[in-house]
Amino acid sequence: MKKFSILFLLFSVLISAQNNRMIYEYTFRPDSTKVDSLKTEWMYLDISKNGSKYYSKSTFESDSIVNESIKKQMAAGMKSISVSRNQRGGEVSYEVEKSYPDYKTNLISRVGNDSYKVLEDRKLNWKILPYKMKIGEFNAQNATTDFAGRKWTAWFTTDVPVLDGPYKFSGLPGLIVEISDATGSHKMELKGIKKLKEIKEEELNAQGKDIPFTKKKPIEVNRQQYIKQLKQYENDPVQGMREIMNQPNSKIKVNINGQEFTDPKDVLRALEQNAREEMKKNNNKIELQP
């Protein structure tokens, strides 16, 4: 017991003294009508002394590639910026940020051509149960909660002195190592912990240009305002693109899954068709009630 206490103390010092990355495997079924639509995404939960950030590895890497391509085109003085939609990669485009020690939680979500920062105003009410088991190398305990229209079952460990977890989940006396919803549609499993240096995300300097499909500074809204934006997007998924293309001297070339479009009417038609197909296939979101 004494040996365990010493190891635990040393690990506490390490994890509080530097940044750590919790690596989760996120398995989800985007289309509730298709049992075989199961997908997997590697997610990062980066933890620092001031808070955490949860995001997709693939989307982060794809955004970096797109930004580098745009910077090279702008440096070369190209008047027409080419953005390949299939470079975005990653099925998960949202991010979740939490601040410590108050655990204030914000969703960073892309809707159309805009990005929104949404403060979460719903509290997680956990019911900690006596059930325990070993998950990987961790001693874990069971807890349940209802959130955003789903019933969730979590396993957390006090072996790691972090009171956080993937997505918006936190508030348990330890790190969440596994969490899944009652339907089996969404599941997040901790697969590794990595020490890392601080990562400073570089913002794209678009030199005043509104370039589609690029990561933008999010607009801060409350949850009701965000729901309104979601409904507007569902009704007209190319509204933002239409506004960009109506600007003077605006020329946009879009590549969607290998097919290039330059004529404004073709661009809007292709983007709307693609957006509606994606919405139809993505009917089983992690939040049934945003």
Instruction: Give the pLDDT confidence of 205-248 residue by residue, as tens digits.
Output: 545 555 555 667 899 999 999 999 999 999 999 888 888 777 77
Compute, in degrees rounded to 10, the torsion defined by CA atoms 79, 82, 83, 84: 180
Residue 104 has pLDDT above 80, yes or no: yes
Encode pLDDT of 171-210 as tens digits. 999 999 999 999 999 999 999 999 988 656 656 454 555 5
pLDDT mean over 56-65: 80
Residues 6+ apart with CB under 8 A from 194: 20, 21, 23
Query: Which residue pairs from 174-183 have beta carbons closer than 8 angstroms and sit at least 24 positions apart in sequence?
Result: 174/141, 175/22, 177/135, 177/136, 177/138, 177/140, 178/135, 178/140, 178/154, 179/152, 179/153, 179/154, 179/155, 180/152, 180/153, 181/150, 181/151, 181/152, 181/153, 182/150, 182/151, 182/152, 182/153, 183/150
Of all residues in the chain, the percent with pLDDT exceeding 70 is 77
pLDDT mean over 4-8: 40
Domain parsing of the chain, residue ranges: 18-281
* Residue 65: per-residue pLDDT: 64
DSSP 8-state assignment for residue 70: H
The answer to whether the predicted template modeling score (pTM) of the entire model surpasses 0.85 is no
